[in-house]
Amino acid sequence: DKLKRLVSLVLVLALTAAVLLSGCAKKQEQKVVNVYNWGENIDESIFKIFEKQTGIKVNYTTYESNEQLYAVLKMGGTNYDVIIPSDYMISRLIEEGMLEKLDFNNIPNFDNIDERYKNLEYDPANEYSVPYTWGVVGLIYNTSMIDDEITSWGALFDPKYSGQILQFDNSRDAMATALFHLGYSVNTTDEAELNEAYELLVQQKTILQGYVMDQIYDKLEGGEAAIGPYYAGDALLMMENNPDLAFVVPEEGTNLFVDAMCIPKGAVNKENAELFINFMCDTDIALKNMAVTCYATPVRTAYEALDEETRSNEIMFPKDDVLNRCQIYKNLPQETLNLYDQLWVKLKS
């Protein structure tokens, strides 16, 4: 009898332990946030601070373009909790019902965001996104390889630099370089204008070294190529590593972009995601992040805390004369998006 009682006690204890352990495991499983972001676009050391503050572990992966992000989400890559698309892609995701509305009770630091980055056209009621960074696109070129002062998008299409030119490896940005050079709106839906831009890219292909995204770092820093278009924050990082590099916003104008934090539809860890978004809008965290990424912050309190030298950096914070000739990408109608896809496939084949 004693033995039976002992055995049943051991079994009860084992069962209780198993239940407790599985409860703990479940709790631990929930304590994650899966963040999907552009490459070279965050100070990864802040994840430890977030984990210490909240007990939530950050799983972090990167993509190279808005189009790649869109394709992954479309194919059912729904295990992400936070994504950081650009303006035009956010409006597309909203339109297609691919984002969750945010609970701003979990994001009190939204108050730190400068008013000029709220209620923008891509998310007019500010229901789906919190601004993360902003900046402009320009040309990065190696002054030891190119003697001329570069002022125009035309340099990307100049046979003089044959074999030394890089181009964006995504359709929206690549087409924009041609549209700007031709003097057209980057949001044109005119088929003739888009075909003309495409023809310019076809001609460019014969003098191009290659289509790149983050590979541009190695190529420009290492002097393997002389010129390419990219984003201002990345340009500053490259210039730190190679002082021969210069950045210019072409005279024809350029793209002004805002990247913002969103939660994909069906995200498993929605509240954790909102806590992460809130954390990224903290003044000290925004400052720490900006020091590593070199991207301008929309966090007003962080901008105000910057020293005068950083605030007067015209690559990070362009002056009004530059901003006035910028265009923000808009989400294009479906038939224009289809045309973009067709032209891009044709160009790359």
Question: How confident is residue 30, by pLDDT bands cut at 50, 70 and 90?
Answer: low
Average pLDDT over residues 172-194: 98
Pairing mode of beta strands 130-142, 227-231: antiparallel
- Say if residue 120's pLDDT is above 80: yes
Pair 204, 157: CB distance under 8 Å: yes
**Nearest Cα to Cα of residue 196 among 205, 183, 206:** 183
pLDDT higher than threshold 70 for residue 17 = no
Per-residue pLDDT, 9: 56
pLDDT of residue 160: 97
Can you tell me which residue has the tokens 């001329």? Answer: 148
Rounded to whole angstroms, what are the CA distances from 227 to 39, 182, 216, 248, 313?
20, 19, 9, 11, 22
Residue 16 has pLDDT above 80, yes or no: no
Confidence (pLDDT) at 241: 96
Please state, in angstroms and rounded to a whole number, the distance separating the CA atoms of residues 52 and 39. 24
Average pLDDT over every residue of 136-161: 98
Ramachandran angles phi, psi of 123, nearest 5°:
-150, 70
Give the residue ranges of DSSP H helices in 96-190. 171-182
pLDDT at 297: 96
Mean pLDDT to the nearest integer, 71-93: 93
Confidence at residue 76, expressed as pLDDT on a 0 to 100 scale: 86
Cα atoms in the Cβ-side hemisphere of radius 13 Å centred on 65: 16
pLDDT surpassing 60 at residue 25: no
Mean pLDDT of the chain: 93
List, for residues 264-284, the tens digit of each pLDDT value: 999 999 999 999 999 999 999
Percent of the chain with pLDDT over 70: 91
Taking the C-alpha atoms of residue 61 and residue 308, their distance in angstroms, rounded to an integer, is 34
Q: How far apart are CA 255 and CA 242, in angstroms?
A: 25
Q: What is the mean pLDDT of residues 287-291?
A: 96
32-38 mean pLDDT = 97
